[in-house]
Structure 1
């Protein structure tokens, strides 16, 4: 592993784009990052204000759809989460320590198969499985993606930057399919990720109109998936939410099943997990940006 990390450091150092100055903090872009068994990945790393001036070590936040986090020129829809501004606002509140943010770009047409939880996919059958297969041409690779994030990528981040690498200082956040991927990472790698933000999670996993007759099967799959993996809170935290407009209008029935599972497993709402509904909020980046300071303020709150 040591030789691999040394090699990866050298490769990424060569691929890094020039540092981009920000009013607060700065960005580094890595345009082509090889990852075994995956499409080439791309990263945007945000270093918080003051990083370069001291010796402090920082907790780390991994986020999916990294192209939509910081810079409008990289975004899909000319909308961004303004993640750096949300982090600074959370820090300014006094509730949150500054985090290094690792934005992992989505790999274009491979996004769906990279974010769909493999262990959930394996529980499905019939039309539901057929619909998932139709959305994941080439096969589901989220298990490889998770292995890469929790293994080589995290090892490189902890080597290249001044991090606090423990579980309690490592969070993962995403929206839509990225919300599913964040829950997947949290459940399958509880020793790595102590906090997860599953924002507007796309619980239908495919077009919800195509699986209306399969809702009961999918609810049962999500319930069983969480039941088998959730365990005790043990100091961990999970944020979940959704709006009520556009694609988010389909999420409430599934979210209610997931919420009930957290309660049944002994997780205390407001302390160990949160689930919120934003009336009128749509399934898009501006809606997520509007609530991101609140998400960070709860999810990443300093520990006593």
Structure 2
């Protein structure tokens, strides 16, 4: 009998533990969106890969699908399969930051990239032709007639390419400058707004997690909350510092007063409606946390923090930041899809 117990014990010891081996998972709701009606028609048949535990690929006709990921996974990646004429333009490289709240829909923006290809192609052709002409000019004088003929042919090709897209030299130069400017400015617009929104989400999450624990371990809770407050405050400061400059850059490189005004509207929501409005609430919460450290005031402060979510309208704050995130993602879509080939 003892031998049987030993065998059973060994089997249990080396048997994979189902509970410990299975990580908790969450379902993240995602949606493909595009400003292109042609791409939108293909959502249901769109082939894509995803580095999650599972997904209900393909998406439905509205581009909706769910990604099942590990609960603590910070990101997951979506990639299009055999897509030659369009690509995921947001989030960058298809890398999705796991949303703080699973009820939020993650937008995956797909757009055609023809304008950029056209502009880059024309610029490349002109550079190559200029180099070829330079080489021809350096050739021996005995080949002068042949050189002149080749130069004329190269000029003709360049003219035909530009005529194909109805672009003169000035317009091509403008498109080239816009392309370069956008590639420099877009990451700043994306980062400053995106980092602020994520830091605000993290702050709300820190408050939700640590305030109930503060009564038992005030020091650890205060450190976590103060860290989140500092990060959010720094993100606010950076956005506040650069938003006027970036608004001007949108006018220059996107040639759109409408997009610049939309950016101004969204940053105003972030800086004023969200940050300045709600920071007073965070300051009040911090005051109560400080009172918890005082023996005489601990009980009263703990009582005032008991219903802090209701007292400080936590749900309103989460709704507002979720709205800001949707507006921000919509802006990123518009900036990415705006044509480079704008006639003067």
Does the alignment reach a TM-score above 0.5? no
Instruction: Return the structure number with greater strand share.
Output: 1
| Structure with higher RCO (Cα < 8 A, 6+ apart) | 1
Of the two, which has the highest radius of gyration?
2
